[in-house]
Amino acid sequence: MKLFNTLTRRKEEFVPLEEGKVRMYVCGPTVYNLIHIGNARPMIIFDTVRRYMEYKGYEVNFVSNFTDVDDKIIKKAIEEGVSAQEVSERYIAECRKDMDAMNVKPATTNPQATQEINGMIDMIQTLIDKGYAYPAADGTVYFRVKKFKEYGKLSHKNLDDLQSGFRSLQVSGEDQKEDPLDFVLWKPKKEGEPSWLSPWCDGRPGWHIECSVMAKKYLGDEIDIHAGGEDLIFPHHENEIAQSECCNGKIFAKYWMHNGFLNIDNRKMSKSLGNFRTVREISEQYDLQVLRFFMLNAHYRSPLNFSADLMEAAKNALERITDAAANLKDRKNAAQTESATDAEKELLTQSQEFVKKFEEAMDDDFNTADALAAIFELVKFANTNVSEESSAEFAGSLLDTVVKLCDVLGLKAVKKEEILDKEIEDLIAERQEARKAKNFARADEIRDELLAKGIILKDTREGVKWKRA
Ligand SMILES: [Zn+2]
């Protein structure tokens, strides 16, 4: 398996630090609003990376944070007259709903910045003790960038060039820096802001220190993959490297993965252009599986353009897969014969070619567009070869392969409703039989099974009625 490493600007063979295990950190959103489709891209991409790693047999420890203390959260809290915590908790809950609808697997751990303040204070203290950081007179703690000779290695920026670029840059309130390149680790609180006690001042952490601390706590000093949007390469990830490597004395992350930008109608997404789209808005128009398909149908490192036409095309393309899967399911259920014939067995062997193509595409830096192309070839093969005469084993086996490959990409090939309608009717009929036979235990069991799937049964005078919860 090869992946493109931003650090070396090359595709490299993936070799984990510990055999069979992957330690992965993805920078998560700042929670002050509903997530937008730019936030959705890294969520979908790196969830797919994780799913493929798991498919390959790796045990993945997947950590992604919520930044729940930040200027924007505080601003929103003041506007609404509520606490910053109330704002962040609300949008964490909303974000989880959107992630679930996009079929993004829950992370192993979702740490929140405000729960990890002690770790941040400890790391800042270590950096001060080692001479990599210093408190200014007003209590702000800065990282001493020039002391870390490798600064700029991820973004491939030269310290001297950065120096001349930054010379004219004066950030108000940061005039006690030793050097314009130095960045904030801890800052004093302003009136009305959430704050924590520290050895330097009553205040709050800078953004970059969060990720260094949470990665260290939940994954260790050295991790396999650190990922995020390409806008995070500089300065966020560069600063994370500086903090972690100076504190821990070890290489922070072996591989750095970054997804490309997302534009809307060929323009940068921004509130001022009026083309800002939240995931929630998209979900009112489409099943978010369509959004997921749309994002995976491009290479993750390329810029991606979002438009209504492209979403329509994605919807139609995804339907070709789900229609084929539904057809395979029907063929399987209605088959006259159970076992595959020799000719069918030969075709099943042939169909493994598409699985191989799929894996080759994914092994080549997660080329999900080519992986989808392999699924379409498989679907075409199934449509051509499965008929009313096919055995249940043949149709079922092709269906399983389609479902399995789609699942690696987080796509549900079989629509839930299509399974359920027939299943519900069958189970209700079975329950009626059980009751007639006075087998009430089985009847209750079926009721519970349906309830677990969100189906509520009601016994009426006209018979059993059901509805979705
Ligand atoms: Zn981060």
Looking at residue 424, its pLDDT comes to: 86
Q: For residue 90, how far is its CA from the centre of ligand 1 (angstroms)?
A: 21
Q: For residue 283, how far is its CA from the centre of ligand 1 (angstroms)?
A: 27
Q: For residue 383, how far is its CA from the centre of ligand 1 (angstroms)?
A: 45
Looking at residue 452, its pLDDT comes to: 75
Q: For residue 67, how far is its CA from the centre of ligand 1 (angstroms)?
A: 9
Q: For residue 51, how far is its CA from the centre of ligand 1 (angstroms)?
A: 21
Q: For residue 208, how far is its CA from the centre of ligand 1 (angstroms)?
A: 6
Give the DSSP letter string of 217-263: HHH-SSEEEEEEEGGGIIIIIHHHHHHHHHHHSS--EEEEEEE--EE
Looking at residue 168, its pLDDT comes to: 58
Q: How far is it, in rounded angstroms, from Cα 208 to Cα 205?
A: 8
Q: For residue 262, how far is its CA from the centre of ligand 1 (angstroms)?
A: 19
Q: For residue 136, how far is its CA from the centre of ligand 1 (angstroms)?
A: 25
Cβ atoms of residues 318 and 411 within 8 Å: yes
Q: For residue 213, how far is its CA from the centre of ligand 1 (angstroms)?
A: 10
Q: For residue 226, how far is its CA from the centre of ligand 1 (angstroms)?
A: 9
Give the DSSP letter string of 310-327: HHHHHHHHHHHHHHHHHH
Per-residue pLDDT of 435-459, as tens digits, reads 999 999 999 889 888 887 778 888 8
Confidence of residue 416 (pLDDT cuts 50, 70, 90): low
Tokens 């069979």 belong to residue: 20
Per-residue pLDDT of 189-214, as tens digits, reads 998 899 999 999 999 999 999 999 99
Q: For residue 27, how far is its CA from the centre of ligand 1 (angstroms)?
A: 4
Cβ atoms of residues 409 and 51 within 8 Å: yes
Cβ atoms of residues 43 and 99 within 8 Å: yes
Looking at residue 159, its pLDDT comes to: 84
Looking at residue 405, its pLDDT comes to: 98
Please report, to the nearest 10 degrees, the dihedral formed by the alpha carbons of residues 119, 121, 122, 124 taken in order. Answer: 120
Range with lowest mean pLDDT among 19-28, 120-129, 150-159, 289-298: 150-159
Q: Is 391 helix (H, G, I), strand (E, B) or coil?
A: coil
Q: For residue 87, how far is its CA from the centre of ligand 1 (angstroms)?
A: 20
**pTM value > 0.85:** yes
Q: For residue 210, how far is its CA from the centre of ligand 1 (angstroms)?
A: 7
Q: For residue 232, how far is its CA from the centre of ligand 1 (angstroms)?
A: 8
Per-residue pLDDT of 35-78, as tens digits, reads 999 999 999 999 999 999 999 999 999 999 999 999 999 999 99
Q: Is 63 helix (H, G, I), strand (E, B) or coil?
A: strand
Mean pLDDT within 8-26: 98
Residue 365, CA distances (Å) to 107, 178, 193, 423, 449 in order? 22, 42, 43, 40, 41
Range with lowest mean pLDDT among 12-16, 29-33, 144-148, 169-173: 169-173
Mean pLDDT within 156-162: 85
Per the structure block, which two tokens stand in for 186? 């801890």
Task: Provide the percentage of residues in the chain whose pLDDT is more than 70.
Answer: 97
Residues with CB under 5 A from ligand 1 (ion): 27, 211
Say yes or no to pLDDT of 170 above 70: no
Q: Which H or E run includes 345? A: helix 342-363
Q: Find, among 357, 360, 293, the residue nearest to 322 by Cα.
A: 293
Q: For residue 228, how far is its CA from the centre of ligand 1 (angstroms)?
A: 8
The mean pLDDT value of the chain amounts to 94
Q: For residue 103, how far is its CA from the centre of ligand 1 (angstroms)?
A: 22
Say yes or no to pLDDT of 164 above 80: no
Q: For residue 236, how far is its CA from the centre of ligand 1 (angstroms)?
A: 6
Looking at residue 464, its pLDDT comes to: 86
Range with lowest mean pLDDT among 166-175, 296-305, 311-320: 166-175
Confidence of residue 465 (pLDDT cuts 50, 70, 90): confident
Looking at residue 417, its pLDDT comes to: 58
Looking at residue 420, its pLDDT comes to: 66
Looking at residue 326, its pLDDT comes to: 94
Please report, to the nearest 10 degrees, the dihedral formed by the alpha carbons of residues 68, 71, 72, 75 taken in order. Answer: 110
Per-residue pLDDT of 246-299, as tens digits, reads 999 999 999 999 999 999 988 888 777 778 899 999 999 999 999 999 999 999
Q: For residue 24, how far is its CA from the centre of ligand 1 (angstroms)?
A: 12
Q: For residue 413, how far is its CA from the centre of ligand 1 (angstroms)?
A: 33
Q: For residue 438, how far is its CA from the centre of ligand 1 (angstroms)?
A: 61
Q: For residue 238, how far is its CA from the centre of ligand 1 (angstroms)?
A: 10
